[in-house]
Every structure is written in C-alpha cells, then in structure tokens.
C-alpha cells in the first residue's frame, strides 16, 4: 500500500468513568483462588494491567461511537458535508443488523451520499477501516472519512468471573485459557482521514503492509464479547510476534525507512510480556513507544487508536516524526502503517492517572 494524497487528520477517544482494578477482579474470584490456592496479585503481575474500565451496563456501543466521532470531526475542523465514508470497526456493535454504522451516521447527521458499513476483524477492525477509507481517498472517490468504534468489556469480564467460580472441576491449567478475558477493557476511538488539499495538518499516511497467518485462527475464539472467550495466550504470543516480525521487514521496506529512522510507535495493547517481546523482536527501543495497557487493559480494536489519541494529547509526537502504527489481531492478522507526522490537533481531555507499577519476571 502506498498513498500520495491521504492525510491522517485526527485521533479522538472517550473512556468510561468506572475504573475496575485487577485487585477488585481477584477479590471477586476469591472462591476460585482459595480452592486452587492461587497467589493474589498474579493477574496484574503477569499482565502488567492494573486497571481497566467499564461502560454502564447495557449501553449500546453506538452511544459512545457517536460522541467520539463527533469529537474527532470537531477537532479536525472538517465540514461534515465532505465526509464520504463512515466505517464502524469495533468487535462490539448494537445489532447483527442493521450495521451499527447506520445509527452512528444518523446521529452525526452525515450526508446521504456517505458510504457506511461495519468492519469486523477482532483487534484490527479500526485499522482495516483506516486502510479502506484511505484507499477511497487515494482513488478520488471521497475527500474525507471517519473510522470509529466502541468496545465494551463488562459482560465478558463478569461472565468469565461467574464461570470460573461456578465450575469446581477446574484445575490451574484449565484456568489459563480464560485469564486473557480478565484483561479486557472498554473504550472508544475515532479517526478522521482526508485528502491533502483538505488537510489542516499535513500528516501524510505514507502506506503500509498487511499480512495474515490463519494457521492461528483457533488460538483466540469467542462466541460473542458478551459471552465467553478462550485464548491460548502463550502460543498466540509466540505466533503473533513471529508474524509481526515478518510483516515489519516488509513494512520498513515499503515506506523506505530503516528501523533506526522510526521516531515513534503505537502498538496494539495486550500486556507487558507481549510489548516487551514485540519491541525486542522488531529491534525497537521502548522509549519510542507509548503505552496505555497499565490503566486501560486490552481494549480490542480501539486499543491502538485510543493509545495514539492519548499519546498525541500528551505530546508524544513532534513535527517530522516518522510514526509506525503496529497492529496485531487474533486470526492471526497484522496491519502496519507509516505516517509522516507534522501537526497535532488536540482537544484536552481529563488527566490520565497512571497506576502504580508491579513487576514480575515474565
């Protein structure tokens, strides 16, 4: 993928007010922990995740997607009549049909000529949406587009806790496939892309690459985010990093960068061990990366763009930075995009308080 006429104008985010700590989750798992003599604190020690957040119960994803998309459009300063595409890319959606994008489009008051649809691809949905909107802009089909999504983790986490406590036949090894579900958090993100002539920033999306390794399609499976999810975390970590390493070699060649020329990165937020191994495997310094996993957990398809939005808000990006967006999702799928950053458009949100850190050899 190569682009000459596409700018990545703004990232925006919204977060729930309700904070749920790993300690609180383990307190609710007391029956399981006592029976199996599991040490308290293991969830945070192994994942690096101290907190995640929950939206109010039964809140449809579109409610926050409208709010976040509205914020992104406002920050970008783009006339909404210029918006020719709206993609809703989160795992969570209001209904199987119609597309959640329909309700979001209606509430935003976008043009009837705007192309709208949902994209579902685990944790890569919003990045896939960005690629599709960028393609339409590059082809001259539209001048601007919005990609948005909202993930809600409450039902998954609470159902997982209930099942782990209720099944008294479980042994320690049986618990492992469910632990990743307890790291999931909620959030909402939106991205505005536009053509160069419409842009106020000049943040050029240069291009990128996509690669899949569907031998790993059974390593993380869910029958719905509100139900139950089982994950072979160790194998998914190993195979995901291997696929990312192959993709990264193609990525830096595609955008004509060397590894040392990458100034900043935003990656999918999974956990401490994943981040450490990925940066090491790609020969990237931790200082170039920005993380939110400690206080947001894994927020699915919005994890990378929420992290980018918060990082931009907190001054992580400077003029002329070469920025890599490194997305990895179950399946296994990888999308990596390169941006020539020029200007950050920011609307300050509430201050983010990072929790204290615990360490473990993982």
Residue tagged active-site, from 7, 102, 114, 123 = 123
Residue 48 located in a structural domain: no
Query: Quick one: average pLDDT of 166-171?
Result: 90
Any idea which residue has 């783009």 for tokens?
78
pLDDT at 362: 32
Residue 241 located in a structural domain: yes
Mean pLDDT of the chain: 89
CATH of the domain at 327: 3.40.47.10
Query: Quick one: average pLDDT of 81-103?
Result: 94
pLDDT at 221: 56
* Contact criterion met (CB below 8 Å) for 358 and 297: no
Query: Quick one: average pLDDT of 299-326?
Result: 95
For residue range 11-34, list pLDDT tens digits in order.
999 999 999 999 999 999 999 999
Q: Lowest mean pLDDT: which of 149-158, 226-235, 348-357? A: 348-357
**Cα 343 off chain centre by:** 22
Q: pLDDT at residue 193 above 50? A: yes
Task: Name the residue among 146, 74, 86 with its Cα closest to residue 115.
Answer: 86
To the query of whether residue 7 is one of the catalytic residues in this protein, the response is no
Task: Name the residue among 151, 167, 185, 163 with its Cα closest to residue 47.
Answer: 185
Phi then psi for 72, rounded to 5 degrees? -65, -40
* Contact criterion met (CB below 8 Å) for 304 and 327: yes
Residue 283 located in a structural domain: yes
More confident residue, 24 or 215: 24
Task: Name the residue among 339, 341, 136 with its Cα closest to residue 255.
Answer: 339
For residue 104 the two structure tokens come to 């979001």
Residue 63 located in a structural domain: no
More confident residue, 120 or 361: 120
Assign 215 a pLDDT band (cuts: 50, 70, 90).
Answer: low
Rounded to an integer, what distance in angstroms lies between the CA atom of residue 102 and that of residue 46? Answer: 40
Residue 171 located in a structural domain: no
Domain that residue 217 falls in: 202-340
Peptide bond preceding 157 in cis form (omega within 30 of 0) = no
Query: Quick one: average pLDDT of 103-130?
Result: 94
Q: pLDDT at residue 202 above 70? A: yes
To the query of whether residue 123 is one of the catalytic residues in this protein, the response is yes
Sign of CA dihedral 114, 118, 121, 126: positive
Assign 360 a pLDDT band (cuts: 50, 70, 90).
Answer: very low
Length of the chain: 362
Model-wide pTM > 0.85: yes
- Which element (helix H / strand E) includes 150? strand 144-151
Residue 20 located in a structural domain: no
Rounded to an integer, what distance in angstroms lies between the CA atom of residue 246 and that of residue 251? Answer: 9
What are the CA-CA distances from residue 315 to residues 144, 311, 318, 347, 353 (Å)? 25, 6, 7, 12, 16
Rounded to an integer, what distance in angstroms lies between the CA atom of residue 339 and that of residue 208? Answer: 9
pLDDT at 245: 82
Task: Name the residue among 96, 99, 22, 88 with its Cα closest to residue 53.
Answer: 22
The total number of structural domains that make up the chain = 1
Assign 178 a pLDDT band (cuts: 50, 70, 90).
Answer: confident
- Which element (helix H / strand E) includes 130? helix 125-138
Q: Which residues are CB-contacts of 285 (< 8 A; sequence separation ≥ 6)?
A: 279
- Which element (helix H / strand E) includes 173? helix 172-179
Is 21 exposed, middle or buried, given 0-12, 13-18 or 19+ CB atoms closer than 10 A? Answer: middle
Residue 185 located in a structural domain: no
Residue 114 located in a structural domain: no
Strand, coil or helix: what is 94? Answer: coil
Q: Lowest mean pLDDT: which of 88-102, 270-284, 296-310? A: 270-284
* Contact criterion met (CB below 8 Å) for 179 and 362: no
Rounded to an integer, what distance in angstroms lies between the CA atom of residue 294 and that of residue 358? Answer: 10
Assign 177 a pLDDT band (cuts: 50, 70, 90).
Answer: confident
Query: Quick one: average pLDDT of 195-199?
Result: 95
């Amino acid at each position: 993928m190569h682009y000459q006429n596409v700018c990545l104008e703004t990232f925006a985010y919204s977060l729930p007010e309700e904070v749920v700590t790993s300690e609180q989750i383990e307190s609710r798992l007391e029956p399981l922990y006592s029976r199996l003599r599991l040490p308290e604190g293991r969830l945070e020690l192994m994942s690096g995740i101290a907190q995640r957040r929950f939206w109010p119960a039964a809140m449809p994803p579109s409610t926050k997607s409208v709010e976040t998309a509205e914020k992104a459009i406002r920050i970008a300063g783009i006339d909404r009549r210029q918006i020719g595409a709206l993609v809703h890319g989160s795992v969570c959606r209001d209904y199987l049909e119609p597309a959640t994008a329909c309700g979001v489009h209606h509430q935003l008051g976008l043009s009837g000529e705007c192309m709208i649809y949902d994209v579902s691809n685990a944790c890569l949905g919003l990045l896939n949406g960005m690629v599709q909107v960028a393609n339409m802009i590059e082809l001259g089909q539209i001048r601007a587009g919005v990609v948005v999504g909202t993930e809600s983790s409450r039902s998954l986490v609470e159902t997982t806790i209930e099942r782990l406590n209720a099944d008294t036949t479980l042994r320690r090894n049986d618990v492992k496939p469910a632990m990743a579900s307890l790291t999931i958090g909620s959030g909402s993100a939106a991205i505005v892309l536009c053509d160069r002539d419409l842009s106020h920033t000049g943040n050029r999306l240069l291009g990128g690459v996509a690669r899949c390794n569907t031998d790993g399609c059974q390593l993380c499976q869910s029958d719905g985010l509100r139900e139950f999810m089982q994950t072979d975390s160790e194998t998914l970590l190993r195979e995901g990093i291997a696929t990312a390493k192959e993709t990264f070699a193609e990525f830096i060649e595609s955008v004509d960068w060397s590894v040392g020329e990458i100034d900043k990165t935003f990656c999918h937020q999974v956990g401490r061990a994943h981040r450490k191994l990925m940066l090491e495997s790609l020969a990237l310094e931790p200082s170039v990366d920005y993380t939110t996993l400690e206080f947001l957990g894994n927020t699915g398809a919005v994890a990378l763009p929420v992290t980018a939005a918060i990082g931009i808000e907190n001054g992580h990006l400077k003029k002329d930075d070469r920025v890599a967006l490194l997305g990895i999702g179950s399946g296994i799928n990888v999308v990596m995009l390169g941006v020539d950053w020029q200007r950050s458009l920011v609307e300050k949100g509430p201050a983010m308080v990072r929790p204290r850190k615990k360490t473990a050899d993982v």
